Amino acid sequence: MIQRIAIIGLGTMGPGMAARLARGGLQVVAYDVAPAAIERARSILGIAEGVLDSLGVTSPASGAGTVRFTDDIADAVSGADLVIENVPENISIKADVYRAIDGLIGPETLVASDTSGIPITKLQAHISHPERMVGMHWSNPPHIIPMIEVIAGEKTAPQTVATIRDLIRSIGLLPVVVKKDVPGFVENRVLYALLREAVDLVERGVIDPEDLDTCVSWGIGYKIAVIGPMALLDMAGLDIYKSVSSFLNADLSNRDDVAPMVLQKTNASKFGIKSGEGMFSYTPEQIKALQGERARKLVAVRRILEGRE
């Protein structure tokens, strides 16, 4: 049974994951190599907890869990039933973490990666007990989005998948077990198909960035939260899909490299909210306001989708 969880990496994803797991009654120890990341995580933990309150996420009868921060990786993983690796999307950085924890974790400890899409089979090559390693792909913001993908690599034991799936369920979240270890799993294959086309349309001057967002959010985005893609095909009619896709599929972006517009921005360190500029520009005040507003709206939508309002 999973009771103690170590989170390695406290950037965009780590603090919200820590808050959500603790609310589920688990004992979380949170570690990052960068002291500034630990301080930032400490300061935003309370905000995530406030959002969980407004979502009505309660703790089990046995009580709420805890989050403890540490700057020592050995301390973080000591006694952990599960280690969730949450460091940047780079195999060599992730492999360094697996090597560092290999001799520190117990014989029963499971290791999960929150990778956005590196096949788990590739990550397993860097750990001595690959049968205990699994993909556990959260969606951002992790304290609000309930769906988590669970992915087995070639060497993952079925029991490891079952334990993680049951853990996710036991704290009121929604596990989706992906049946094949394909790059990007399912959520990001679908998201990146959409993002490739969206970036291409903006880059080619077909639409302005603000209007692209209005079109997608108030068109397919709003709809798809209620009617998933497979159900949408039936709603539109497969005959319509056949007619449109017969001419449209061939015209969609099929570029297999990173779009120049994105490279230009990343080369200039324009990463988005984390650097103050990306597709749009943000002042620190705007970032704070946006994050609050987005959390409020996501909470309200989720309550309605769950039939609670």
Ligand X SMILES: NC(=O)c1ccc[n+]([C@@H]2O[C@H](COP(=O)([O-])OP(=O)(O)OC[C@H]3O[C@@H](n4cnc5c(N)ncnc54)[C@H](O)[C@@H]3O)[C@@H](O)[C@H]2O)c1
Retrieve residue 154's tokens. 């070639």
Q: Which amino acid is at 66?
A: T
10 interacts with ligand X by CB under 6 A: yes
Judged by CB under 6 A, the number of residues near ligand LMUV7VF2 is 4
What mask, x for binding ligand X by CB under 6 A, covers residues 61 to 90? -------------------------xxxx-
The total of other beta-carbon atoms located within 10 Å of residue 305's CB is 12
Cα–Cα–Cα angle for 204, 206, 207, nearest 5°?
Answer: 115
217 interacts with ligand LMUV7VF2 by CB under 6 A: no
The DSSP H or E segment spanning 69 is strand 66-70
Residue 23 · residue 39 · CB < 8 Å: no
Work out which of 3, 140, 159, 243 binds ligand X, going by CB under 6 A: 140
Work out which of 75, 96, 131, 203 binds ligand X, going by CB under 6 A: 96
131 interacts with ligand X by CB under 6 A: no
The residue among 190, 198, 191, 197 whose CA lies nearest residue 214 is 198
Least separation, in Å, of the C-beta of 116 and ligand LMUV7VF2?
3
116 interacts with ligand LMUV7VF2 by CB under 6 A: yes
Options 10-18, 59-67, 147-155, 214-222: segment touching ligand X (CB under 6 A): 10-18
Q: How far apart are CA 223 and CA 144, in angstroms?
A: 19
Work out which of 188, 253, 266, 291 binds ligand LMUV7VF2, going by CB under 6 A: 188
What mask, x for binding ligand X by CB under 6 A, covers residues 184 to 223? ----------------------------------------
Least separation, in Å, of the C-beta of 74 and ligand LMUV7VF2?
28
Output Rg (C-alpha) for the chain, integer angstroms: 20
DSSP code per residue over 30-63: EE-SSHHHHHHHHHHHHHHHHHHHHHT-PPPTT-
Query: Between residues 182 and 244, which has the closer beta carbon with respect to ligand X?
Result: 182
Least separation, in Å, of the C-beta of 44 and ligand LMUV7VF2?
17
Least separation, in Å, of the C-beta of 79 and ligand LMUV7VF2?
29
119 — alpha (psi -120 to 50), left (phi > 0) or beta?
Answer: beta
Query: Between residues 13 and 52, which has the closer beta carbon with respect to ligand X?
Result: 13
Residues annotated within the binding site for NAD(+) are 9-14, 32, 89, 94, 116, 140, 274
Q: Where are the alpha helices (DSSP H) in the chain?
A: 14-23, 35-55, 73-77, 91-102, 120-124, 158-170, 187-203, 209-216, 222-224, 229-236, 238-248, 260-267, 284-305
Residue with tokens 């309370």: 46
Query: Between residues 55 and 101, which has the closer beta carbon with respect to ligand X?
Result: 101
Interacting residues with ligand LMUV7VF2 (CB under 6 A): 116, 139-140, 188
